[in-house]
Amino acid sequence: MTAAAEAIGPAPKHRRLGRILRALGMPALLAAAIALTRLVHPEFGPFEIQTLALGALPLALAAAAQAIVVISGGIDLSIGSLIAVSNVLSASLMQHASFRESLALSVLVLALGAGLGLLNGLVVAISRIPDVVATLTTGFIWGGVALLILESPGGGAPPGYLNIAAGADFGPWLPNALVVMVLAVAALWLPVRLSRIGLLIYAAGSDPVAAFRSGVNVTSARTIAYIFSGMASAIGGMALTMTTGIGSPLAGSYYTLSSVAAVVIGGVSLAGGRGGMTGPVIAALLLTLAPMDLVFLGIDPNFGQVIQGTLIVLVVMVAGLFAYLQERK
């Protein structure tokens, strides 16, 4: 992608500007949002940063999971259920485990997430049912699996394990959750982005026919995207165990819709082939910050969902408007 563009020569000035704006836009937006928050709530400090990071951690991973599938040209509406499965599985397995055993069990949960993601990918590939319908249905099935593992909220994990996300070992201003967020997303995304796999995934998403004719195995590229989505969701579910301390079979449903929101706000095109990982992760932080701000402002935090819905629609509308204006030029 980028390599090809550079080979042709320097991009026209306005497009280069657009690229810079797109790269800096989301971090700038987050900085502005935090600055605004400090304005309405001057006490905004380490504790609030910690709350923000804890709340955003599972969502950031859900957003990463969604982003990779959307980039590959699909959509995964089973992410919430996958998070729930990993959440209840980790919480029920680790309840009486030691810290070391918990770490070993984490690998197991991660492998299961990859397996369920693979199943998602295979269902989409083999059944030829469109992604939306296929993952809506598999999400329903995984929801049943989560209920099978744990019927009602419960379970737990050793304190050391919870501390991985809940602690603040790097000083009060840098909560562990933020570090885990960056490390986990980077560990999942960089190997993809920097290798051939990433190129194939982007190619499959941006133009499946052209990709197929150039010898890309579109089906396997998409299936790999679903596997990564499953792994990111599994980490998201374990993060939920770390941040809430329990497993809850219905806790995941929020993440399906919010992951789509984060991806859209984070600049990943639902048409596939475009976008990165920074945008969705920052969007996850923004989406978590919004309800907090409502509390600071003394507004019912339940408006958060309304705002989230409005934000998604507005972002897509503005993006559509820009595309329209560009076409008219």
Applying CB under 8 A, which residues contact another protein?
75, 123, 126-130, 132-134, 136-138, 140-141, 143-148, 151, 257, 260-261, 264, 270-271, 300, 302-313, 316-317, 320-321, 324
The residue written with tokens 């306005």 in the block is 14
For the chain, the farthest-separated pair of C-alpha atoms sits apart, in whole angstroms, at 64
Burial-class residue 219 by CB neighbours within 10 Å (0-12, 13-18, 19+). middle
DSSP state of 246: S
**What is the DSSP-derived secondary structure letter of residue 153?**
S
Q: Least CB distance from residue 77 to another protein, whole Å?
A: 9
CB of 286 to another protein, least distance (A): 15
Closest separation in Å from C-beta 211 to another protein: 19
Residue with tokens 């690998």: 107
- Is there a contact between 261 and 312 (Cβ–Cβ < 8 Å)? yes
Tokens of 221: 């590229």
Pick from 232, 63, 86, 227: nearest CA to 150: 86
- Closer Cβ to another protein, 61 or 260, answer by number: 260
CB of 47 to another protein, least distance (A): 26
C-alpha angle with apex 126: 277 to 250, nearest 5 degrees?
55
CB of 309 to another protein, least distance (A): 3
Q: How far apart are the first and last CA of the chain?
A: 24
Q: Which is nearer to another protein, 252 or 304 (CB)?
A: 304
Query: Based on CB atoms, which residue is closest to another protein, 69 or 177?
Result: 69
Closest by Cα among 216, 194, 195, 196 to 206: 216
Q: Which residues contact 295 (CB under 8 A, 6 or more apart)?
A: 301
Residue 253 has which token pair? Answer: 């449903």
**Quick one: 99 or 303, whose CB is closer to another protein?**
303
Nearer to another protein, 102 or 229 (CB): 229
Q: What is residue 11's DSSP assignment?
A: P
| Least distance in angstroms from the C-beta of 71 to another protein | 15
> Residue 146 or 192: which CB sits closer to another protein?
146
Nearer to another protein, 73 or 198 (CB): 73
Residue with tokens 């700038």: 28
Instruction: Tell me the closest approach of the beta carbon of residue 141 to another protein, in angstroms.
Output: 4
